[in-house]
């Protein structure tokens, strides 16, 4: 099922008087509460189902392509989302920005969290490019072999 609503306007950072239209699409499993779907509808957020109990990333990408014409996606999730896409072999590039900042916080998260995936295998990437984007900050890009 796909519920399509309208575009939502979001403020452009550092420019509170201007807005840009963005189409927000929420990926859900079939276990979603009806109240949450109602909330999304009230907020003008589109949603689609991609999996029964857990997110099926392959199905999600197929639906995003077929229904919305999306051919390229930037994955900016947390460890579970990133790990899910990696486990389904759907990540073809890894992009890291490295800045000289130290954080000693307790809740440090990692790129992936895959302890919920019984068949997880490490994923290798190869260095594609390194750029200095501003002094002391590197942008490192890796691709799948």
Last residue of a domain, one of 16, 49, 73: 73
Helices (H), the chain: 34-43, 57-68, 79-87
Give CA angle at 125 (63, 120), nearest 5°.
65
| Tokens describing residue 102 | 């130290």
Please count the structural domains in the chain: 2
| Tokens describing residue 49 | 């189902």
pTM for the full predicted model: 0.68
> Which three-class secondary structure state does DSSP give residue 138?
strand
Last residue of a domain, one of 73, 93, 113: 73
Residues 79 and 69 in one domain: no
Residues 57 and 114 in one domain: no
Rounded mean pLDDT of 12-35?
A: 72
Residues 18 and 44 in one domain: yes
Residues 5 and 63 in one domain: yes
Residues 67 and 100 in one domain: no
pLDDT tens figures, 29-57:
999 999 998 888 888 888 889 999 888 99
Domain extent, residue 129, equals: 75-145
Q: What is the CATH number of the domain that holds 98?
A: 3.40.430.10
Say which residues have a Cβ less than 8 Å from residue 68's Cβ, sequence separation at least 6.
Answer: 23, 25
Q: At 84, phi and psi to the nearest 5?
A: -65, -45
Residues 48 and 93 in one domain: no
Q: Quickly state the pLDDT bin for 68 (edges 50, 70, 90).
A: confident
Last residue of a domain, one of 73, 88, 105: 73
Residue 63 or residue 44, greater confidence: 63
């Amino acid at each position: 099922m796909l519920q399509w609503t309208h575009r939502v306007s979001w403020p452009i950072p550092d420019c509170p008087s201007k807005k840009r239209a963005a189409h927000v699409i929420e990926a859900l499993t079939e276990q979603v509460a009806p109240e949450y779907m109602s909330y999304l509808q009230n907020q003008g957020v589109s949603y689609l189902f991609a999996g029964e109990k857990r997110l099926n990333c392959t199905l999600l990408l197929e639906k995003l392509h077929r229904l919305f014409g999306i051919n390229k996606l930037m994955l900016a999730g947390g460890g579970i989302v990133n790990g899910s896409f990696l486990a389904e072999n759907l990540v073809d590039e890894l992009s890291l920005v490295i800045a000289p900042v130290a954080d000693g916080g307790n809740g440090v998260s990692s790129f992936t969290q895959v302890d919920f995936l019984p068949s997880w295998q490490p994923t290798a990437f190869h260095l594609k490019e390194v750029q200095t984007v501003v002094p002391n900050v590197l942008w490192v890009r890796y691709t799948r072999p």
